[in-house]
Structure 1
Amino acid sequence: MFMVAFYGCLLAELVPVPIEVPLTRKDAGSQQVGFLLGSCGVTLALTTDACQKGLPKSQTGEVVTFKGWPPLAWLVIDGKHLAKPPKDWLPLAQDTGAGTAYIEYKTSKEGSTVGVTVSHTSLLAQCRALTQACGYSEAETLTNVLDFKRDAGLWHGVLTSVMNRMHVVSIPYALMKANPLSWIQKVCSYKARAALVKSRDMHWSLLAQRGQRDVSLSSLRMLIVADGANPWSISSCDAFLNVFQSRGLRPEAICPCAGSPEALTVAIRRPPDLGGPPPRKAVLSMHGLSYGVVRVDTEEKLSVLTVQDVGQVMPGASVCVVKVEGTPYLCKTDEVGEICVSSSATGTAYYGLPGITKSVFETVPVTVGGAPVSERPFTRTGLLGFIGPDNLVFVVGKLDGLMVVGVRRHNADDVVATALAVEPMKFVYRGRIAVFSVTVLHDDRIVLVAEQRPDASEEDSFQWMSRVLQAIDSIHQVGVYCLALVPANTLPKAPLGGIHISETRQRFLGGTLHPCNVLMCPHTCVTNLPRPRQKQPEVGPASMIVGNLVAGKRIAQASGRELAHLEDSDQARKFLFLADVLQWRAHTTPDHPLFVLLNAKGTVTSTATCVQLHKRAERVAAALLEKGRLDAGDHVALVYPPGVDLIAAFYGCLYCGCVPVTVRPPHPQNLGTTLPTVKMIVEVSKSACVLTTQAITRLLKSKEAAAAVDIKTWPTILDTDDIPKKKVASVFRPPSPDVLAYLDFSVSTTGILAGVKMSHAATSALCRSIKLQCELYPSRQIAICLDPYCGLGFALWCLCSVYSGHQSVLVPPLELESNVSLWLSAVSQYKARVTFCSYSVMEMCTKGLGAQTGALRMKGVNLSCVRTCMVVAEERPRIALTQSFSKLFKDLGLPARAVSTTFGCRVNVAICLQGTAGPDPTTVYVDMRALRHDRVRLVERGSPHSLPLMESGKILPGVKVVIAHTETKGPLGDSHLGEIWVSSPHNATGYYTVYGEEALHVDHFSARLSFGDTQTVWARTGYLGFLRRTELTDASGERHDALYVVGSLDETLELRGMRYHPIDIETSVIRAHRSIAECAVFTWTNLLVVVVELDGLEQDALDLVALVTNAVLEEHFLVVGVVVIVDPGVIPINSRGEKQRMHLRDGFLADQLDPVYVAYNM
């Protein structure tokens, strides 16, 4: 029926495009075939009854439209469906000549499908040339095992056979699979003179022939081997002849040929009676071939390739060999190049693609001097080879299978042959191996994918993989970048058997291959990494300043507004201490509300006016003095959930002169890990007493807690739920403003627990600075969704409302787990102009409310009241998150300019904060490669390797910042990267204790510049950043200085002499695959370890290994040593939403991560 349809199209002057029958909606390569049909303007599909029944149907019974396909009308052409034509109907017998006769599809190495157009002239010329070369004559019988829709199967079995009135016996692929001897039986029974096979068919027949005695192949004068261009076809031919010579097969009957969709048949071996020279074979050095040179070697060696000739070129054709890349210069006789053909019997174009048509179908080969070889253009065949003695053509590979690693060329088929030679029957399922290259870091990298037998064990797999690596290394002297094993029957198949290589490659790159074992060898394969950075002797600080002066650059120093000019009342002068401010407010505005606490439902669970807070603080102070028997200056741990009790306990401590230490309570479901941290802070802070609630007291004394911490080791525990109403005789007044007010403990991202000392003077200065920046007055309401245990979160929750008198709406972040919209609903309900949150909260809202903005709008949530929404952070601003948050909630009226970030650290919890006045935060783009060398190079948005950095809010009033060199401690110039140093009245006064790294330097709090202004005392933040003077104007009318934070010095990774920020590597990794939910990196004995959380099926896990390795190599020039794939939630995150990379590293080294898979890259 195919022949009927094909010739029907030719008679009707339509152009047939033969394709495979689509069996499912997800056939390998089917989408690309659809694109080809669409570009050819195909609207009609001819098919048979049997095929039509097998096509996928919709519920209405119509054939479904396949992905990427144009809408088609399906016409069944079996006899009963078509009427006979009228008696007087005659086809239009016109001489169509150069018009297109048919289009053959071809899939490229990258997976795109193109259509090769063959004109009527070429078609006839091809048939005539084949008739002459093969000596076909009328009534001869041809047995065809090949696909009759394309290639040699179409040229011999459908076209030339009709021209010569031959008999053709076609053996379908399905029959060959069921009975590999069927074609030999048909040759016997029909006394066929010619047979058309591939080396695979011969191989199958050999495996199946053992019981067959009565076959004779003596009738065959030509056994045409269509894939004779395949380097390994020679072994099939030799083995087949070995067995069947005794059954009548003549050696000269075996006729390998070579062809390609573009050039049709290029060459074919002729039997001696048709004038063919004797066959030859060449034994070539693989090493020579990898440099494109023909070097004859001896067969004893393993590293040789034995190839047979594919005969002489077709009648009427001329052939030459040209360089593969660049100008098509002719090759020398001992060079391997691309074979080109000039003939009237080749394809004419790629349909609809004039650009690549010109380079393939209209090549003009030139001599070394640049003179054209011929008047007529040549067609590139895509075959690599050389011309041997007797003008015989030798093919050593295909351009599609060429992999250029470094300067050497390797052929995919040769690598497959080497891999198959390693215990083929024992391990690889049905010999299914795919080899292809992927480009990583400007070079081809070899990837080998094999199907393993269903009964293969893990041990077998790794043994086979390591032996294959060794074999390829010794024979080809090339490393395999990635070796992946997949379960049996899972590689995409080509329509008539074999593996669909381009689809396998797409799946590998798209992360949908689903291997069951992976071995990556980037350390041995990637040899083109940039040289490691050599540290040069640094320029001294004085020279640096002089250099900046000469270059006209100012010193990178900036400050917030002066505090002295900004005092709006005498409150600041009158009350140096927060305890005094609270008493004054309780006396002057007793019923003014300070705090409102919301629960998950959004209802108010607790409030505090000035006088209520004052009275509750007095009761706590009385209890501490009477029950706790504490003295002024004793330290008290406050272990409370976020709420008003915590605030009351804090002021209670101030009222009796004790020093409060806020501690996050242990998690009831996770006492094993959270309780020891509580105990450690209580111990390290030398707390004499623990203030807490009844519920937490019970928890601390429970059986479960006893398993983690000995109950007897706790100091006095007081619960403040039912303390009697008592007053203190007098509120404690510190003898000096420099006395310790509270201790601020927090665990850094590098796992160091550090407590800093905050004096009364610093506490008041902090509140004053925030009050001025945010314009906070008693009439204001602000919403806070932060953890109240350390840093700026603690200050905003406990201190600022008392100092400034504004009302704080408190939203505990934990409540968002049961109601994600709680914070935004509260902001809307209370019409808060200013709100603070953490990155964790912002991420929760972005992920959890993405699809609910419409529903929130219906509920009346409106964020147009917000002027500033600030993310409290101690890191580089997360631009992607803040932008997606702004974009998402723009629908609820959130102003585009509202979102910004703050910046603080251990030595000063609030250095920058956007506030209500002044220019919007600016974003600059820096070159990530320069950053690794500690340099700032500003680039345009979108340029390669660009990294966006957003300004971290505005520098607070009273704060001065300078950028200093990390080693020489000299001041740096504008837009130079260095450590951020800060001087301010609200700097912490020092570390109380540092647990985990006792030698943390005193000079963190009292550093001086080594040159320039050597008088000012600075605190070192431990963060890298730079200052840049912008064109914008500050509220004061001065030009605005923007501070850009790049990252923490403690977090940075020193690799190959360069400084990397983990977040940059992690961003690249997260982009590598949609199943990567989170990622963290750290180093382990000079190896880079990447931990990724898999948000998907376990079968996707191993897809990530190669993609992660590729991404880090491409974008950061680093080789990943270990890829650890874990379940979501394994990477520990602190309350600020920062990754605890050192905890993760400890977990990895202690083997506590329970990973899904660990890949050690070799």
Structure 2
Amino acid sequence: MKFVYRGRIAVFSVTVLRDERIVVVAEQRPDATEEDSFQWMSRVLQAIDSIHGVGIFCLALVPANTLPKTPLGGIHLSEIKQLYLEGGLHPCNVLMCPHTCVTNLPKPRQKQPEIGPASVMVGNLVSGKRIAQASGRDLGQTDDNDQFLFLSEILQWRAQTTPDHVLYTLLSSRGAVSNSLTCLQLHKRAERVAALLMERGGLQEGDHVALVYPPGIDLIAAFYGCLYAGCVPITVRPPHPQNISTTLPTVKMIVEVSHSACVMTTAVICKLLRSKEAMATVDIRNWPPVLDTDDLPKKKPPVLYKPTNPDGLAYLDFSVSTTGMLAGVQMSHNAVGAFCRSVKLQCELYPSREVAICLDPYCGLGFVLWCLCSVYSGHQSILIPPVELESNPALWLLAVSQLRVRDTFCSYSVMELCTKGLGLQTEALKARGLDLSRVRACVVVAEERPRMALTHSFSKLFKDLGLHPRSVSTAFGCRVNLAICLQGTSGPDPTTVYVDMRALRHDRVRLVERGSPHSLPLMESGKILPGVRIIIANPETKGPLGDSHLGEIWVHSAHNGSGYYSGYGEEVLQSDHFNSRLSFGDTQTVWARTGYLGFLRRTELTDANGERHDALFVVGALEEAMELRGMRYHPIDIETSVIRAHKSIMECAVFTWTNLLVVVVELEGSEQEALDLVPMVTKAVLEEHYLIVGVVVVTDIGVIPINSRGEKQRMHLRDGFLQDQLDPIYVAYNM
């Protein structure tokens, strides 16, 4: 079969995973079809295998007349090899066969049985090591608002004692104050919302109300209005006007699953819900009544609801996890009080303080900071909706600088927006007087392992504008406890350790020096909050583990959630998430399981209370981790290697399909570079992780779905891949 153009073939070897691998590059005839090329490639593979008894690592076809030539017209082998290694060949067809020719992979891991409990427990030691447990400071009882058990009472007290004290200031995209609320104004508006709920909504005590508001002041007033009426609020992100068909079903799902008796929202969103596009996706006539709070009744309700049971439900916290699961967590009045108090102590919040918040206020710590903390502690919250940064990336930092804020909270997406959007503008911002030298704490609120590369580049970028690298840190929370760690105002700086990535795959922690091969930097996720106790347990046997051992993070605290809300009686399935006990040792304490792997390490630093400081390192979520070849891999580690593999890879996500590893990469650049990525990605993952990539999918930018916290939705991506919805540039199946 005359397929190769003018016999131009280059055969050379490259070193991959400590061995020579054969690469064949050939020019194909100008009139060759895709069908021809694959037929030829498969024949070549068979022929080389049967005649020479070797497997080919990579077979690449390039368009006619594109291989570099020597002055005499021959094939320039070394230059072709160089192009291949740099990812600059631009092939039009690639076939990789790593499965057949890479035979020197380390053996798959066989799990050994654990040592039984009897042989390991001696007092507070587990097999010769201190048990990995740590706790934040005591919550103590010294507050003037401690006579109140409920947030609604604290708001009424503030409205009486400091009526004109400003609690909330909302900034517009230009950085001007677009709205503000004093204690009395918030109280008055909440009363009118309560009147609306009782009159027009006809709601009873304990009814659930979905609050569908953009990030702002209306949301806060509606929340306290619900408390005043004795209803249970649920904050829901409003549908996005540009893509209603994808965002509205989530809103509908939360309203349904939470059994909301009514929906409160603004006139604009009301109109949006009744629009043609919305009706095509979800018919609003099947919804509970929708109340528009833009024109509130002038009168206040006859009587404000007085809650009596501190263990009663205060609100429901709904969020979609990275694996695409919708889970609502029940937060009791007790938990809310303990939570606010804990944050108040950690961040030293009191009425004369100002805190800038650039977070989405729909779930987790973001919601608590946006809606609850100011009422509890009395400090002023400067609210900056993250949406506004899309049109004005400098908004958040300019506000922090101009208002001389010392503490600010943001999300990874906000930090990324600033790093990418302001990278070249630091000089211009300096000229505008941007000064970040007063910032004492800039905390990223997250539910994942700290993204050190991002926090470092952010610190480095804004160092010239006075930002102290020490001030940038991360918080950690999860579904069962919305905030476990938070870098406060006192206490030692976050520590960084380097662990051996190979040991981590075997669920072991081995500390190594910075820069050693296979080292992975991990940063402490902030200080453990007051009133929080942590222990590291084996997720399978539920036994306690020793210091610097990898296990599941379990948490005991007054602000743990009190369970998932399903409304369908499925609580039994997940009940052990919220009340688990250790299988030996301290079997009395009730713990909540976070579902995250991590380890505690006692450091040489001193805590605020004079003890040695215990640092918590989060490694990753158990449900995200992939079991391959008997080892546990965290997607983020493989993705980091892939992104480093080629300059045109913008973003990347990995998941497993049957037992194959699928890598999806977003290509920045021309489509002719797409196939250069396949060998580069395959090689990088082989060398750094000893894994063979089964499928490489090259797509356009923006295909990998990302949630509001800036986390990749790998399961949604997997569904899209399996349903053939990704519209890829190229899909390479490695044989």
What is the TM-score with the length of structure 1 in the denominator?
0.63
Of 436, 440, 446, the residue aligned with 2:12 is: 436
Counterpart of 1:658 in structure 2 is 231
Counterpart of 2:116 in structure 1 is 540
Please tell me whether the aligned partners of residues 49 and 55 of structure 2 are also in contact (alpha carbons under 8 angstroms). Answer: yes
Counterpart of 1:521 in structure 2 is 97
Q: What pairs up with 1:530-929 in 2 under 5 angstroms?
A: 530-546=106-122, 549=125, 552-564=128-140, 567-572=141-146, 574-929=147-502
Please tell me whether the aligned partners of residues 133 and 534 of structure 2 are also in contact (alpha carbons under 8 angstroms). Answer: yes
Measure the CA separation in 2 of the matches of 1:1010 and 1:851.
55
- Paired amino acid for 2:52: H
- Paired amino acid for 1:1098: E
| 2:42 is equivalent to residue 466 of structure 1 | yes
Measure the CA separation in 1 of the matches of 2:634 and 2:334.
36
Please tell me whether the aligned partners of residues 259 and 567 of structure 2 are also in contact (alpha carbons under 8 angstroms). Answer: no
Measure the CA separation in 1 of the matches of 2:132 and 2:568.
33
Structure 1: 5+ residue stretches without partners = 1-422
Please tell me whether the aligned partners of residues 752 and 996 of structure 1 are also in contact (alpha carbons under 8 angstroms). Answer: no
Structure 1 ranges of 4+ moved more than 6 A = 994-999
Root-mean-square deviation (CA, aligned residues, Å) is 1.4
SS in 2 for 1:874: coil
Q: What pairs up with 1:1090-1101 in 2 under 5 angstroms?
A: 1090-1101=663-674
Measure the CA separation in 2 of the matches of 1:488 and 1:547.
74
Number of aligned residues: 735
Measure the CA separation in 2 of the matches of 1:533 and 1:550.
24
Measure the CA separation in 2 of the matches of 1:569 and 1:803.
10
Alpha-carbon distance, 1:940 to partner: 0.6
| 2:614 is equivalent to residue 1038 of structure 1 | no
Alpha-carbon distance, 1:996 to partner: 14
Q: 1:550 to 1:992 in 2, by over 3 A?
A: closer
| Bigger Cα Rg | 1
Counterpart of 1:957 in structure 2 is 530
- Paired amino acid for 2:90: H
Alpha-carbon distance, 1:540 to partner: 2.0
Measure the CA separation in 2 of the matches of 1:508 and 1:556.
48
| 2:630 is equivalent to residue 1054 of structure 1 | no
| 2:65 is equivalent to residue 489 of structure 1 | yes
Residues 124-160 of structure 1: CA deviation (Å, up to 9, x unaligned): xxxxxxxxxxxxxxxxxxxxxxxxxxxxxxxxxxxxx
Alpha-carbon distance, 1:546 to partner: 4.3
Please tell me whether the aligned partners of residues 106 and 690 of structure 2 are also in contact (alpha carbons under 8 angstroms). Answer: yes
Alpha-carbon distance, 1:961 to partner: 0.3
Of 20, 26, 30, the residue aligned with 1:450 is: 26
Measure the CA separation in 1 of the matches of 2:680 and 2:350.
53
Alpha-carbon distance, 1:644 to partner: 0.3
Measure the CA separation in 2 of the matches of 1:940 and 1:1025.
19
- Paired amino acid for 2:445: V
SS in 2 for 1:1101: helix
Residues 284-314 of structure 1: CA deviation (Å, up to 9, x unaligned): xxxxxxxxxxxxxxxxxxxxxxxxxxxxxxx
- Paired amino acid for 1:1066: E
Measure the CA separation in 2 of the matches of 1:1156 and 1:994.
43
| 2:684 is equivalent to residue 1111 of structure 1 | yes
Residues 599-632 of structure 1: CA deviation (Å, up to 9, x unaligned): 2111111111111111111111100100011001
Alpha-carbon distance, 1:994 to partner: 8.7
Alpha-carbon distance, 1:934 to partner: 0.5
Please tell me whether the aligned partners of residues 258 and 567 of structure 2 are also in contact (alpha carbons under 8 angstroms). Answer: no
SS in 2 for 1:602: coil
Measure the CA separation in 1 of the matches of 2:610 and 2:417.
39
Please tell me whether the aligned partners of residues 120 and 127 of structure 2 are also in contact (alpha carbons under 8 angstroms). Answer: no
Measure the CA separation in 2 of the matches of 1:428 and 1:493.
16
Measure the CA separation in 2 of the matches of 1:734 and 1:983.
25
Alpha-carbon distance, 1:568 to partner: 3.5
- Paired amino acid for 1:1027: L
Q: Greater relative contact order (Cα 8 A, min sep 6): structure 1 or 2?
A: 2
SS in 2 for 1:438: strand
SS in 2 for 1:900: strand
Measure the CA separation in 1 of the matches of 2:723 and 2:183.
51
- Paired amino acid for 1:963: I
- Paired amino acid for 2:681: V
SS in 2 for 1:1131: coil
SS in 1 for 2:120: helix
Counterpart of 1:945 in structure 2 is 518
SS in 2 for 1:979: strand
Measure the CA separation in 2 of the matches of 1:820 and 1:445.
47
Measure the CA separation in 2 of the matches of 1:1020 and 1:902.
18
Alpha-carbon distance, 1:978 to partner: 0.5
| 2:678 is equivalent to residue 1102 of structure 1 | no
Please tell me whether the aligned partners of residues 548 and 973 of structure 1 are also in contact (alpha carbons under 8 angstroms). Answer: no
- Paired amino acid for 2:618: V
Counterpart of 1:45 in structure 2 is none
Measure the CA separation in 2 of the matches of 1:627 and 1:881.
48
| 2:49 is equivalent to residue 476 of structure 1 | no
Counterpart of 1:1137 in structure 2 is 710
Alpha-carbon distance, 1:490 to partner: 1.0
Q: 1:765 to 1:548 in 2, by over 3 A?
A: closer
- Paired amino acid for 1:844: L
Measure the CA separation in 1 of the matches of 2:488 and 2:467.
16
Alpha-carbon distance, 1:489 to partner: 1.0
SS in 2 for 1:1088: strand
Determine what percentage of the aligned residue pairs are the same residue: 79
SS in 1 for 2:718: helix
Residues 191-236 of structure 1: CA deviation (Å, up to 9, x unaligned): xxxxxxxxxxxxxxxxxxxxxxxxxxxxxxxxxxxxxxxxxxxxxx
Q: 1:626 to 1:852 in 2, by over 3 A?
A: same
Counterpart of 1:427 in structure 2 is 3
- Paired amino acid for 2:145: Q
Alpha-carbon distance, 1:552 to partner: 4.1
Q: 1:475 to 1:877 in 2, by over 3 A?
A: same
Measure the CA separation in 2 of the matches of 1:753 and 1:526.
41
Please tell me whether the aligned partners of residues 753 and 994 of structure 1 are also in contact (alpha carbons under 8 angstroms). Answer: no
- Paired amino acid for 1:434: A
Q: 1:726 to 1:547 in 2, by over 3 A?
A: closer
- Paired amino acid for 1:467: R
Alpha-carbon distance, 1:544 to partner: 3.2
Measure the CA separation in 2 of the matches of 1:1075 and 1:514.
12
- Paired amino acid for 1:753: L
Residues 711-737 of structure 1: CA deviation (Å, up to 9, x unaligned): 221110001011222211222111210
SS in 1 for 2:138: coil
Measure the CA separation in 2 of the matches of 1:918 and 1:665.
39
Alpha-carbon distance, 1:1001 to partner: 2.1
Measure the CA separation in 1 of the matches of 2:208 and 2:116.
45
SS in 1 for 2:71: coil
- Paired amino acid for 2:644: R
Q: 1:514 to 1:457 in 2, by over 3 A?
A: same
Q: 1:1089 to 1:994 in 2, by over 3 A?
A: farther
Please tell me whether the aligned partners of residues 452 and 523 of structure 2 are also in contact (alpha carbons under 8 angstroms). Answer: yes
Structure 2: 5+ residue stretches without partners = none
| 2:83 is equivalent to residue 510 of structure 1 | no
Measure the CA separation in 2 of the matches of 1:1085 and 1:443.
28
SS in 1 for 2:121: helix
